[in-house]
């Protein structure tokens, strides 16, 4: 298997025209940004779709090509979700932020991704949908909303419905940005420096586990203390984004609920989720991080139990949530590679 990191290809954009949203609105001139690694085979049966996680761009996720997904076997499509600044977003003229939340959902991401695969690649059913964090949320939505088009799902460190505890984390991030004095109710009058610093502090405290900090994982990365770690490793990751886009993606995450996306609303939330996840026909691997604070193993296990034939696997790692995106950690990469190989029958 080829383990080399490939050269970065050119970013591509697919115009979607006027896109009807699940909210009932129509998005004028929507577009998806994506990258491709590997080649589509003659039968068009080797396409892997990797939807982006929160704030990630294709180049941030490209490390999986080689260590996890073999470009000699797969045609790997890394697609930016709406709101991340590469695909249509508030910063690029997409729908503006609304008091009740950004009016775009994962159902809209799935609709757009389905069109991308059909219109550009001539593929109706990807061989695998691989996703981490918000990418896992999109993979679950594929399985529920497009059950006959979804062959295999690898859902890593993410849930099909945002839990109450996870919601508190997201609300704290949103509050950090909107409490900044530059917030004007619908956007920012200047760069929200205070808000971004608070945002990065919150994110860093949740993304890695207590064990990671206890063993000095941040020191091993070359940072003098946790303050330096946040300033040097976390703050730049969010400063590169338009803060309106950061809020838009939070709103999509806050609203994540495959039952609602599927129009299931009996009034019994547990029964609704069970009905939605019961619709998944794909082979499904649910992958939890042992010390993930966002998506604890128990939350993933509860959902996996509702998916017919799903397997639950746990990454043994102290990286916390980042165990699912271990660009610099070979042990976690080996575990993820084994999951994919088992799921895909190799």
Length of the chain, in residues: 346
Burial (CB count within 10 angstroms: exposed 0-12, middle 13-18, buried 19+), residue 17: exposed
The SS3 of residue 286 is: strand
Chain CA centroid to CA 91, Å: 19
Q: How far apart are CA 113 and CA 51, in angstroms?
A: 9
Q: Is 290 within 8 Å of 264 (Cβ atoms)?
A: no
Contacts of 98 (CB under 8 A, 6+ apart): none
Strand pairing class (283-289; 311-315): parallel
The SS3 of residue 142 is: helix
Q: How far apart are CA 129 and CA 224, in angstroms?
A: 39
The SS3 of residue 19 is: strand
> Angle at the Cα of 296 (from 207 to 147), degrees rounded to 5?
105
Q: Which residues are catalytic?
A: 133, 292, 321
The SS3 of residue 249 is: helix
Sheet containing strand 12-20, edge to edge, reads 12-20, 26-37, 75-79, 47-51, 128-132, 152-156, 283-289, 311-315
> Angle at the Cα of 313 (from 270 to 71), degrees rounded to 5?
115
The SS3 of residue 293 is: coil
Q: Is 322 within 8 Å of 193 (Cβ atoms)?
A: no
């Amino acid at each position: 298997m080829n383990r080399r990191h490939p050269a970065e290809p050119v970013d591509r954009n697919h115009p979607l025209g006027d896109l009807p949203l699940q909210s009932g609105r129509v998005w004028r001139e929507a577009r998806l940004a994506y990258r491709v690694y590997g080649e589509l085979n003659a039968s068009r049966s080797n396409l892997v779709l990797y939807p982006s996680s929160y704030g990630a761009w294709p180049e941030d996720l490209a490390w999986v090509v080689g260590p996890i997904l073999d470009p000699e076997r797969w045609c790997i499509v890394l697609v930016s979700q709406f709101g991340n600044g590469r695909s249509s977003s508030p910063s690029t003229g997409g729908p503006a932020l609304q008091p009740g939340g950004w009016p775009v959902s994962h159902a809209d991401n799935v609709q757009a991704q389905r069109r991308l695969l059909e219109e550009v690649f001539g593929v109706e059913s990807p061989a695998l949908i691989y996703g981490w964090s918000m990418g896992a949320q999109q993979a679950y939505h594929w399985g529920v909303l497009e059950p006959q088009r979804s062959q295999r799902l690898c859902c890593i460190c993410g849930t099909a419905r945002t839990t109450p505890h996870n919601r508190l984390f997201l609300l704290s991030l949103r509050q950090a940005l909107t409490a900044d004095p530059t917030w004007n109710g619908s956007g920012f009058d200047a760069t929200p420096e205070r808000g971004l610093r608070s945002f990065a502090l919150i994110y860093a405290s949740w993304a890695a586990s207590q064990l990671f900090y206890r063993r000095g994982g941040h020191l091993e990365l070359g940072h003098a203390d946790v303050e330096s770690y946040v300033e040097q490793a976390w703050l730049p990751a969010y400063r590169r984004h338009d803060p309106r886009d950061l809020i838009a993606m939070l709103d999509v995450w806050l609203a994540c609920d495959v039952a609602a996306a599927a129009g299931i609303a009996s009034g019994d939330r547990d029964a609704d989720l069970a009905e939605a996840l019961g619709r998944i026909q794909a082979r499904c691997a649910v992958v939890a991080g042992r010390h993930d604070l966002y998506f604890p193993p128990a939350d993933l296990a509860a959902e996996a139990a509702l998916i017919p034939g799903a397997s639950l696997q746990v990454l043994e790692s102290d990286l916390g949530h980042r165990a699912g995106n271990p660009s610099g950690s070979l042990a976690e990469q080996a575990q993820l590679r084994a999951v994919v190989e088992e799921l895909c029958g190799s």
